[in-house]
Structure 1
Amino acid sequence: MAKPITEASEYHNAPCYPVSHIVQHLFGSNLVDMKCDLTDDHPAKKTKTESVVDVDFSKLESELRDYVIKQEGRPRMCFLEFLGYHDPHSPQTQATETDSSNVGSMIECGLFIEALDSVRSDVFPGLVPPAPYLVSLLGYAQQGHATSFYLRDLRHVMYNLLITNPPWMAHCKVRKYFSQVLQCPRCKTGLWPFLETAISYCLSTGVSCHPLPGPALPTLLQFHSDLLAFVLKLFQGELHSVNAEDFVLPERRGVSFAPASGSLLYGTFWTVWERSTLLSRAVKQLIRLLLQAFIEDCVHRDEKQKLRLADNLLDLLSVLVEFWCQQHFKLKQTLVEKGLKDLAEHFAVISQDVSPVVLAELVVRITSTRLKLVLADGIFRSLCCRNGFTVGDEPISFKKMVLSYLPALGNLAQCPSGARLRTGPTPHSGASQGAGCSADCSPVNETSLEKENVPKGLNRVNAAGETLLHRACKRNQVETVLQILALPGIDINVKDHAGWTPLHEACNHGSAACVEILLQHRPAPILDNQVGGVSPLHDSMLNGHMDIAKMLLEHAGSVLLQQTDGNGHTALDLTSETTRREELLHSAHVGDSALRNFSTEVLNVPLLEAASSLLANLIFTYRREQGLPHHGDSLSLTLVRALETHSPQKVTSGWTDQRVVRLVEDAETLLELGRGGYLGQISRAVRECKEENTLFLMEILEDFKYRGEMLLADL
């Protein structure tokens, strides 16, 4: 009687009353004594389906978008020590230069110690010594004749000058003053050559704008290291001024800061024409010096650690990356994403010869979560590429880490420990799926191969952008495919003009033998590459090639069944026959078993430990950076309730912001972890490894599984 009436009901004309009305009719006033609350809005009486049906997906999208924007726009690096640099009762002036003619006379007579003592007494808020005098004092320090007491006093003068006259809270004249002081006393070519010379001197590379005393003196090494630390402190203050409105104390409200466009940080690392790109010429040079410093720090740890050169350069890179991102985030978010991606790829390319252990330690010591996230991701993908297999270059997400990076960890554990990593140019991320190899890694070195071993027309591309490998896979020409793949430098994931790979063509045209050959090749082809939402698995299903579909699933496991096409359909959705669905599921199970039981022994412990450290930092930092759903949050509860009834594709249908879509997919991945899924994709060798970093990674995954369980418990 209480069941809702539908149009198709044969009892359409029968009276229908809610249960509460019937109980009220039967029990009357006795209902009060029963202490029953039968109101429709009581949460205990609502079923899970009833509470979720009311979720407004468009409103949910708007709330999630606001949440994502707030997460991405918040300041990451806050330097609270700079809050004491401003006295509200002593407003900043234009930093008038004092009359220090006696100091000039002392410098002319070579009395640098006495001149420095006089300068120390002239540093007050709003009063600064003439810039040429400070330049001369710095020049004397660089000559190598100054005592350690002189260098110490000069450092104190510089820091007092920064504290009493911070350039980020004063007139532009103060910034101009600092730019005049912080440059090479002899060459006077700007702040970056001054910094580069100091870094190079600490590295003993001999690269400087003009010859410096050699061999490197311990006192001068410390002096140049102190200069770098001083400039870092100045740049941290400028980053503080960008984020100041977000975290200054209440009594400090209304304090004016200098505009970031005229900051010393901008002028040092970006020219006017480079400000729309993160990877400027100076930034690339800084990254190169950082890698060199970190390698030396690992080799000569006791000696180099005293200078803190590697840590200071890491902090400097973190500050300038955060500064640039904060400046461009509100204007054009895609520009920031591209800049960070370019930085990660550039770092991965120039660090190919660096030990994975060194790179993993470098990532651990990064202070900026934004920089740590992109570098950890770029280095991990580079390790996979250098060891013979690739992962997709889609934007980083928790779903990608669980479904793609965790299985890749098992492959890294099986790499032979004695295998030498490739040191030549290799494709990375976007380049790995680009249109062929670059000029530096041409597909064939014909000078070292006999011409009869090179298939005819190998380097020819037709009007559609198809290579000979594409055409051979379309025609199921097995011998030609074998001949091409035997050549060095062949890109198995080369794309034509439409984005199709040779594997796509083989799956589309039913070339089962070619598919088998491609899957056996190392590096293996990318199986999750999609063109218009069509993956190789979808291609084989849409064209009725069940044998190829089962081959792909037996090779990669059930992870392929998670893929959806442009309409949100999985491979199982493309067939309605129960028998075929069971065959696909069985093939996926076979693939999962083969991947899990591939080996119980770790063949390359150092590589696995480095990769585990990178992945642990990647997952942990991603949670801090993106803000995954967590227990007790009302927005997270609404999202989880929606996902309990609807698929992620249903929830996000029609949504245009991919950041919000990725957040929903991350939430679904977290819930699946809470249900006990996905962790079975980790190879047995990795699960049974007792090394420190791998154990820590497993603990992090268990913690995420617990978080997923808590979210499910909220329902």
Structure 2
Amino acid sequence: MANLTYVFQISGIKIRENKRVLIRGVQQLGGKYIGGSVYQHDSTHLIIPQVLSSEKFLAACAAGKWVLTPDYVLDSVKNGAWLAEGPYEIAIVRQWRENVASGRIKGAFQGWKVLLMVQEPTRRDMFKRLLKAGMAKVYDSPHHSHASVTHVMAKPITEDSKSHNAPCFPVSHIVQHLFGSNCGNMKLDISDVHPAETKKAGVAEDFAKLETELKDYAIQHEGRPRPFFLEFLSYHDLDHPHFQVTETDVSNVGTMIECGLFAEALDSIRSDMYPGLLPPARYLVSLLEYVQQGNATSVFQKNLKAAMFNLLVTNPPWLGPNAVKKYFTQVLQCPVCKTGLWPFLETAISYCLCSEDTCHPLPGAAQPVLFQFHTDLLDFSLKLFQGELHSISPWDVVLPEGTSVCKGSAAGSLLYGTFWTVWERSTLLSRAVKQLLKLLMKAATKAFGEGGEKETLHLVDTLLDLLSVLVEFWCQQHLKLNQILVNKGLKDFAEHFAVVSQDLSPIIVAELVVRLSSTRLKLAVADAVFRNLCCKNAFTIAEEPLSFKKVVTSYLPALLTLAVSPTSVNCRSRCNIQGSDSSAENSLVNDTSVERENVPRGLNRVNAAGETLLHRACKRNHVETVLQILARPGTDVNVKDHAGWTPLHEACNHGSAACVEALLRHHPAPVLNSQVGGISPLHDTLLNGHMDIAIMLLEHAGEYASPVHLNALGFRV
């Protein structure tokens, strides 16, 4: 028999690896494998582990095909060529195969003319394939000549099925005809045979199992070898790491700096920089100030960069005592303002964006050396923060032998001190994190706009990596103690990201999400951005956590609807006028049904205090409901309750920062100086201690942020 006649199907083998071995064996010997859940007439061989109730098994028997055990393929591979099938054949099907092979019959149901009366469509299709495999003729409705019908097969059997001029049988008669009395011993039941569509639906509904498989695949796909602890810092002397702290005797460096010999001072520091030795912080601060004022050459700047990275490699603060952390805190701040690391980084980012919003006036942003200095500063800080993240993730790295991380290192880390005050550590969305997000959006607008430069794109990647590091750091600090806090922090962060990025084009937002290195953050942000998009287009998305089930049951239908009619309600109405409601796609964009389904519950209901749903959502910080309401045409953002309070009043009074952000971004914007008894939204904010919201109001007010115009906001100074 030529190799081309070996066409295999497989049934009943659940272990994927075993199935892969069989498929590889078939292909190795020149055979062909046909997948799928239904019987294929072109197949010549069926591989099954045992007799079973499946469409493929029963159809192969009826068609007289070879039905073999898996050993046939495995032994043939060992032999290097196809073996004789006889020893591996399932004995109970031999009779039909021999009858078909000898030409006595063409199939087990040859001569049958069956009127198939099965109500369920998918099962009817399955029985039709099975009967046709045995060469029966199948009719779905009474034939023009009732006398030509030899069998009526029904499920269930009714009076109507018995009324035809032919014997009526249950569908189990198929198994009885194939195997006779043996079907009882084999415990074959035709009711156990499920159509392929039902099987697929059953698998699709088993979301928990699929979720686990996807998670395992993601872990395996993203798995990487465990690196040595300092490899990511390019530290090569792995056998003799030094972590002791000793200040170098470089007394002559101070004299050089006083005399303006900065290059000579830097060379002296670099020549005396050995593992475990720290040059005095004041000297490095002076060198940083020299570069920041635009006086250094590109060579000096490169040498200073090398010295800083060498210092980080030889004296990592996350492995050293508190004195090392204090040392880096003294060095990494603006040499003029000396207000900490975050203002220093904020100034560096602003300078790279050609913005004048810096801690103190700097030379013109056109200087390439100064631009490179601030870029290098951001890269250095990112590397430092990555090291601190690695230090609290021992499963990611291999520590040097005999080395341990200080237990208090995480709480007193530079990362914590940079992005969170002592009072903000229970929330992910601190003031510094919000400002970092705002700067990221400015950088993205510049990088992905017309004439975007490569340097700005590098800045975007650096800021995204920085966000990923600080989110992972914060989550790992709280994950073991308070899972609910972590989930809430991530959700708030992601929703804030969605709000501040809504002025960007969807293409830029998608690019930002893809470039995030933290999978945890990427999923949360993608979820929030898509929910925000759906709210703008009046589609409701479930509140449950992001999962494979949610994607299938909630996001995919919404995505299909958005693809059919992205924004226009008129387009949906036009589809209804045309009357094309026969397809599932058109039913999804039905104007009446969609609007009814996605109108927030209680939208037009006013309670006894005159509060609308927008008032109540702002009080409870339900930002998704707020976004959904604001997305509806004609929404009055300044609607008042019976006492005169607006939704902005309520959001400010209750500290609903995300809702305030959404209200301020609405067009037209809410009235900021609306007062009730002399109380403005800003008054409400300050009286209740919500300083982050107060800053937000002042920043939004623009020119009114100056003390001269604060009265316009209802706040007298």
TM-score after normalising by structure 1: 0.49
* Higher helix residue share: 1
Q: Which has the higher strand share?
A: 2
- Which structure is higher in RCO with an 8 Å CA cutoff and minimum separation 6? 1
